[in-house]
Chains A and B, each alone.
Chain A
Amino acid sequence: MEKDRKEGIKGMANPGRYGIERVAYWLMRITGLGLLFYFIGHIYETSNLLDGKAAWNSMLELTQTTEGHIFLTLVIGMCVFHTGNGIRLMIGQAGFGLGKPSRADYPYTPKSLNMKGKLCIYVSIGLAALAMMYGLGVMYDV
């Protein structure tokens, strides 16, 4: 067996077992990577502008489809969650909203994993869902 016996990606990528903060960590990674790959594709997609109207329109034919709209909706959701949770993390990682250190007593509930942080995560997920619905509405002219 390997020296450190690391759990590996299976352990890092498992969002279960440890509460909503672990789910938020996992979603943050997934959305970050998803947004990066979308961004690279978006830069390439918009570069078609330089090849003229015909090239631009043929690119639009590829992306302005049902699949394209669903994909863009997912991107909107990823963007809103990543932003909302990112702001929560930046505030938490600066040391704010974590509670004050004090002598620990049974049942030893961690102060840093408080309702404020959990609420921010749920709000980020909720806002992402709302943004996705709004985005779908805009794309389908509702």
Chain B
Amino acid sequence: MMSNIMRESHIMKIHYLTALIAVGFVIIHIMVRVTQGFANSLEFESVIANYKSIPYAIVLEAMLILISVHGFNGLRIILLELKQGNAYENAVTYGCLVAMIALIAYGSRTIIMASMGMVEA
């Protein structure tokens, strides 16, 4: 069980920390969209240009990791409260962990490939 690997207090400290840091990055992300003009910021070329900017790509990657960790831990907490039992709790914990890693991997793929210009014409 997750609690065998990590104490619940450590998991919750991570939960709080990711929330606080993610707020800062989300504000940056929204500010970039708003200052570029909402309609312009969604143009294909504009988005690609954003991804090619390394600092912005780092912001996106950080947001992806922080929000995934916070979100899936939150889902784990809700699911653990709904039903109890060793098998179920292990399934929920490891399921959320796997889903979190999968989402981070999928999102990172987009960020890395777009920032390297590996986009179809």
Interface of A toward B, CB cutoff 8 Å: 9, 12, 29, 32-33, 35-36, 39-40, 43-44, 46-47, 49-53, 55-57, 60, 64, 79, 83, 86, 90, 138-139, 141
Main SS at interface, chain A: helix
Tell me whether A52 and B110 are in contact in the complex, defined as CB-CB below 8 angstroms, given that A33-B75, A40-B103 are known contacts: no
B51 A49 Cβ-Cβ under 8 A: yes
Q: Enumerate B50-88 residues with CB–CB distance to A below 8 Å.
A: 51, 64, 67-68, 71-72, 74-75, 78, 81-82
- Asked if A50 contacts B110 (CB within 8 A), the reply is yes
Q: Which residues of A contact B39 (CB under 8 A)?
A: 141
Q: Which applies to chain B's interface (DSSP): helix, strand, loop or mixed?
A: helix
Interface residue ranges of B1-45 to A (CB < 8 Å): 16, 19-20, 23, 26, 34, 38-39, 42, 44
Chain B residue total in the interface (Cβ 8 A): 34
Docked pose: A35 CA to B68 CA in angstroms:
11
- When the two chains form their complex, are residues B74 and A49 in contact, meaning their CB atoms are under 8 A apart? no
- Say yes or no: A39 contacts B67, CB within 8 Å: yes
| B contact residues around A90 at 8 Å (CB) | 16, 19-20
Q: How far is the CB of B12 from chain A (nearest CB, A)?
A: 9
CA distance A60 to B81 in the complex (A): 38
Does the CB pair A43–B106 fall under 8 Å? Answer: yes
- A51 near B120 (CB under 8 angstroms)? yes
Q: CB of B48 within 8 A of chain A?
A: yes
